[in-house]
Amino acid sequence: MPGDPAGRVVVVLDLDGVTDKAALMDRCARDLALPDWFGRNWDALADCLADPALCPEEAGERGLLVVVQGWRGYAETRPDEWQVAEEIFAEATDRGPGLFVTLGPGESSERPPDRPG
């Protein structure tokens, strides 16, 4: 993934293969390097995203960009859960400067996109 033009630290949250909330929470714990005490529920995810102490050290000065990719399969399989996840990501971005969560490619960059025909 290319660097962020704004100079923020970039972290990729890759949801390829995620089809339920438990897998989403596991992937967030792994890709976002959340602490062992992360409760793997919506409130705990929101709390962790809001805690600047859990961001990479260099993000304190530069900011943090979390790019969520490979999300389409989860969004299609569990639309209600995906809506909650999107709300948490949006709220994390709105809470203050320093953190920005954005949706990247809906499919994983690990495999080519589907092509018609």
- DSSP at 107: S
Name residues whose C-beta falls within 8 Å of residue 111's C-beta, 6 or more positions apart in sequence: 16
What CA–CA distance (Å, rounded) separates 1 from 7? Answer: 13
d(CA 75, CA 82): 5
Strand partners, 103: 68
What CA–CA distance (Å, rounded) separates 99 from 64? 5
Global pTM value = 0.84
Residue 60 has a CB neighbour count (10 Å cut-off) of 13
Summarize the confidence of residues 2-14 as an average pLDDT.
87
State how far the Cα of 32 lies from the Cα of 51, in Å rounded to an integer: 12
What rounded mean pLDDT belongs to the chain? 88
Instruction: Render pLDDT for 49-96 as a digit per residue (tens, 0 to 9).
Output: 989 888 888 888 899 999 999 999 999 999 999 999 999 999 999 986
**First and final CA of the chain: distance in angstroms?**
29
